[in-house]
Chains A and B, each alone.
Chain A
Amino acid sequence: MTAPTASKEWYDVSGVVSVQRVYPQGYVTLRKRRRARRVKDIITSWLFILPAMVLLAAFLLYPLLSSFYLSLTDYNFVYSPKPEFSGLSNFVKLARDSYFVTAFRNTLQYTVVFFPLLVILALLLALLLNSKVKGTGIFQTAILLPIVVPLSLAGVMFTWIFSEDFGILNHLLANVFGLPGLRRFWLGDPATAMYSLTAVGLWKYTGFAVILFLAGLKAIPGDIYEAAKVDGVSPWQSLVYVTLPNLRGSFALVGAWGIIQAIKVYDQVVVMTNGGPGNSTLVLYLYAWKNAFEFFEMGYAEAIAYFTGALAFVISILFNLVLKPEKR
């Protein structure tokens, strides 16, 4: 840091002291250069991120704002000449629409069953894969394989598995396990349809949650376990007092991701039941889709989509707040 060579002081009319520092000629030039370089750096960094910003603005921000505006309008894509601003009427209508209420209730039901099962199953499988038992490679492949299978395709496969008359599940129950009384029309019975869809969701998404937990498990330093072992901690205590607290971050991640997957459930529903029988598997995104592309009610569909998005957002935030990793 170059020190000023001198300073001038003077008093203005109100008696305030002003100080002007005097720097050597070379120092002033250096500062100017530094400032110019800093400005150049800022411009360069902005130029680097500009393409991403433009793309984000065009494909994320603009559609978000545009669809939000649509949610505040009365607009039938086919029969309305143009969107007409209607304020919050679409959101008010949601509360009075019994089909929407059913879709909301079904989505919550799916989430309440899917989410804890996803976390528990994924954690157990991750612990299994992280252990030194033989054959983990085969398990790993089997668990991760569903990730690469598109859910729509899996939906077709599971439709046949769950079929009342031709399905392998009923065949196994009746003819292999000798439990004919457990045969069901799994997808056609309102009592079992949503649980069948939940099973398909778990089949698809557990693998990815396992990866997230495995990453967390690998990040726990081995010396903690060694220290615990020296202190005579049992494997169960090691799990409860060492492993789980250190997986807080993974829990937050799997939690937020899992809840979003649950609330935006759509693919297997549209392929396997299309919301039926009756409305027993109608979920929020399917109802939004129906309003948009079957009834062409774009404004109302956007309101449902925004409600669903907001729901996922709020629950994820709450979850993250509860499971926020402690600062060390």
Chain B
Amino acid sequence: MFRKLIFLVIAVGILMFGIGLAAFGEEPKVLKVTAEAWYYNKYPMEEAAKRFQADHPGVSFEWSKAGDFEVAPLMLAWSRDRYIADIAIVASPSEAVAFQAKGLLLDFEDVLKGEYAKDKWLKGFLDQCSIKGKVYTIPTDAEVMCLVGRKDYARDAGLTDAHGNIVPPKTLDEFYTYLKKLTVKDSSGKTIRYGMDVNWSPEYMVYTYFSGVQASRGTIYDDQGNLDFSSKEALALLSFWQRGVKEGLISTSSLVDHNGPRNSMKSGIAAFMWEDHARVVECGKVVGPEKLAIVPIPDSLTNGTIAYTMSLMIPKNAKHPELAKAFVLEQLNAPWFAHYLMDNWGKLLGLKRNLEGRQDLPVWKSVFQIAEKAVGLPKMVDHAKLVDIMTTEIHTMLKMQQTPEQTLANIRKRIRGLNLKPLE
């Protein structure tokens, strides 16, 4: 009997000890981050994690790499409350809209206070992350559409000022004369150096087109308040592109390869590139930073251009949402992190303070000048369909299979049934 009692006491003791451990012991805090694989190559995530761990002992990180950011599998998993990650990077604004529509995202309203208050962010970029007034994502890769030009080619063509800087073209017509001067053809008439390469890949199509429209009109909307596919400026832009391609002044490498323009720039077969500003740093690493300059799209310093940002989000079923938000703000938006990205990849983050101390560099001075007037595209339910239609029709035009007028008419016809009302 006594022996049984001893056993019972020991068993109860072990049980109590276990319960005590469970109750008072620290549960390991693992922050799981999922992002496209390239993100880990460009963004110093390990260093950010180390710094965060120093401030928050007991936190560990788990990284998951995805080939492409696929909305459907992530959405399916989160819809079924399956835990995938605490932070998901990188979504475009239209993808974020889809997640928000399903009610799968946490908003950042509770933490955007003090040094992270909304007015401390670049408005154009934070607007891209807001849906119906609430911020659901945080900018991770903010960029403005502009021209990147080769100073050495421009100098040889007599297009630079006394200081060797490229004289910005004032109109598309003037820019066309630039391209003519910069294009080099061989004896058979084949272009061996293009005046310009333009990013018309599906990823960029809307940014490229609307940056041209915004720059020439000061708005991306027509007189009826719809996205502009009818103004004379829109027609002039398409005509400029088509004529340039037809005469061999503009490369169409991006029609099948979104890396085409940057490859052209790196290999020296294009004098200008119509893309985002970040390429100036990336291509500068190959051709030499002193040879490249940011040049505003004609009229964009007055009328503006397009700004866009990729972003990160925190799902509602995150295991450590508070820690995730802290990591995002304290490290992924820290000055050291932002400066690393600017210096190495030309990418901007959203907080204004991170841009301070960089204004003296000519490249950033130009970028900030352009960014000040930049606007974001509206978030729309049928954004992906719009991109598909624009890409198809504009590519068809660039292959001389239809005129600019037909292109705009076809786009207008095809978007008729789409929901393109801005969600804000």
Contact = CB atoms under 8 A, between A and B. Distances in A.
A192 to B, nearest CB: 11
A187 B399 CA distance: 12
A273 B395 CA distance: 12
A164 B72 contact: no
B101 A159 contact: no
Contacts of A277: 252, 255-256, 395-396, 398-399
A327 B279 CA distance: 67
Interface in A208-248: none
B269 A165 contact: yes
A194 to B, nearest CB: 12
Given A78-B102, A190-B401, A276 B72 contact: no
Interface in A165-210: 165-166, 180-181, 183, 185, 187-190, 193
A44 interface: no
Contacts of A276: 255-256, 391-392, 395
Q: Which of A183, A272, A278, A294 has the most CB of B within 10 A?
A: A278
Contacts of B391: 276
Nearest to B99: A78
A277 B102 CA distance: 33
Contact of B388 (A78, A280, A294, A296): A294
B420 to A, nearest CB: 13
Contacts of A294: 384, 388
Contacts of B253: 164-165, 188
A293 B72 contact: yes
A47 B241 CA distance: 68
A302 to B, nearest CB: 14
B384 A189 contact: no
Contacts of A188: 252-253, 255-256, 399
Given A188-B252, A278-B392, A279-B392, A159 B257 contact: yes
A5 B206 CA distance: 94
Nearest to B402: A278
Interface string B254-265: 011100000110
B256 A274 contact: yes
B256 A272 contact: yes
A163 B72 CA distance: 32
A290 interface: yes
Contacts of B399: 188-190, 277-278, 280
Contacts of B382: 295
B224 interface: no
A200 to B, nearest CB: 13
B66 interface: no
B395 A278 contact: yes
The binding surface of chain B is classed by DSSP as: helix
Nearest to A272: B256
Interface residues of B, number: 33
Contacts of A296: 71-72, 98
Interface in A276-307: 276-280, 290, 292-296
Interface in A86-139: 99
A48 interface: no
B75 interface: yes
A165 B192 CA distance: 8
Contacts of B257: 159, 163
Contacts of A159: 256-257
A146 to B, nearest CB: 22
Nearest to B188: A180
B114 to A, nearest CB: 35
Nearest to A98: B414
Most chain A CB inside 10 Å of its own CB: which residue of B190, B251, B269, B392? B392
A296 B76 CA distance: 12
Nearest to B269: A165
A79 interface: yes
Nearest to B79: A77
B263 A166 contact: yes
B188 A293 contact: no
A188 B253 CA distance: 7
A111 B263 CA distance: 33
Contact of A77 (B75, B395, B401): B75
Interface in B162-201: 188, 190
Interface string B387-424: 01001110110110100000000000000000000000
A295 B417 CA distance: 14
Given A165-B267, A188-B255, A278-B399, A79 B101 contact: yes
Contacts of B384: 294-295
Interface string B57-101: 000000000000011100100000000000000000000001001
Contacts of A295: 382, 384-385, 388
Nearest to B202: A274
B387 to A, nearest CB: 8
The residue in A78, A190, A274 that gathers the most chain B C-beta atoms within 10 A of its C-beta is A78
A188 B250 CA distance: 14
A87 B395 CA distance: 35
Nearest to A274: B202
A106 to B, nearest CB: 13
A292 B71 CA distance: 11
29 contacts: A77-B72, A78-B98, A79-B101, A166-B267, A180-B188, A181-B188, A187-B256, A188-B252, A188-B253, A188-B256, A188-B399, A189-B399, A190-B399, A193-B256, A274-B202, A276-B391, A276-B395, A277-B255, A277-B395, A278-B392, A278-B395, A278-B396, A279-B392, A280-B399, A290-B388, A293-B71, A295-B384, A295-B388, A296-B72
Given A165-B267, A278-B399, A296-B71, 12 more contacts: A78-B75, A163-B257, A164-B253, A166-B267, A180-B188, A180-B190, A181-B188, A185-B252, A276-B255, A277-B255, A277-B398, A294-B388
Closest 5 pairs (CB-CB, A-B): A278-B396, A277-B255, A278-B395, A277-B395, A187-B256
